[in-house]
């Protein structure tokens, strides 16, 4: 066995033994993190602008170009941030733009839906996206 191979094996053994010793602490941290909402520390900035493609034209914050996907309470991520930014753009308060579809976002969506003659279900789907993107019901 070459000296290089021995050195690599020795470093691997040290790394693995250190990783195993730290495993219980990492496990405890993982279970705590699992209890917290994913993306809880993320905040998004909102710069809404008009965007046109071959098939669609509408406002976007650049986080998602969804038109038909359903985004509803409990969702976390860019599509939710897109909904929150568009709600703020139209004067509705979804709370902090954090990508978490919570109670404030749900209330803002319901208010937006009610004001625009849409079914007031609190979810953004194929009926709500076009109005949220264009500002009026087509």
Question: What local confidence, expressed as pLDDT, does residue 38 receive?
Answer: 55
3-class secondary-structure state, position 65: coil
Q: Tell me, yes or no, if the pTM score tops 0.75.
A: no
Question: What local confidence, expressed as pLDDT, does residue 3 receive?
Answer: 52
Domain-located, residue 82: yes
- The set of residues, in sequence order, having a beta carbon less than 8 Å from that of 66 and lying 6+ positions away, is 79, 82, 129
Q: Residue 126's closest CA among 46, 72, 60, 86?
A: 72
Asked if residues 109 and 124 have their Cβ atoms less than 8 Å apart, the reply is yes
| pLDDT tens series, the chain, 138 aa | 555 444 444 444 444 444 444 444 443 443 333 444 554 568 999 999 999 988 889 999 999 998 889 999 999 999 999 999 999 999 999 999 999 999 999 999 999 999 999 999 999 999 999 999 997 543
Q: Tell me the CATH number at 80.
A: 1.10.101.10
Question: What local confidence, expressed as pLDDT, does residue 42 receive?
Answer: 86
Q: Tell me how many domains the chain contains.
A: 2
Tens digit of pLDDT for each residue in 82-121? 999 999 999 999 999 999 999 999 999 999 999 999 999 9
Same domain for 7 and 56, yes or no, is no
Which domain covers residue 62, as residue numbers?
49-134
């Amino acid at each position: 066995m070459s000296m290089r191979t021995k050195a690599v094996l020795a470093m691997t053994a040290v790394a693995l033994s250190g990783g195993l010793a730290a495993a219980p602490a990492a496990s405890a941290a993982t279970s705590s993190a699992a209890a917290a909402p994913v993306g809880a520390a993320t905040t998004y900035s909102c710069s809404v602008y008009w965007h046109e493609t071959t098939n669609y034209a509408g406002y976007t914050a650049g986080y998602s170009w969804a038109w038909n996907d359903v985004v509803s309470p409990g969702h976390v991520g860019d599509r939710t941030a897109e909904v929150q930014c568009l709600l703020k753009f139209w004067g509705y308060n979804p709370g902090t733009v954090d990508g978490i579809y919570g109670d404030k976002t749900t209330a803002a969506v319901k208010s937006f839906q009610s004001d625009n003659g849409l079914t007031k279900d609190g979810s953004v789907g194929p009926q709500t996206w076009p109005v949220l993107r264009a500002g009026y019901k087509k």
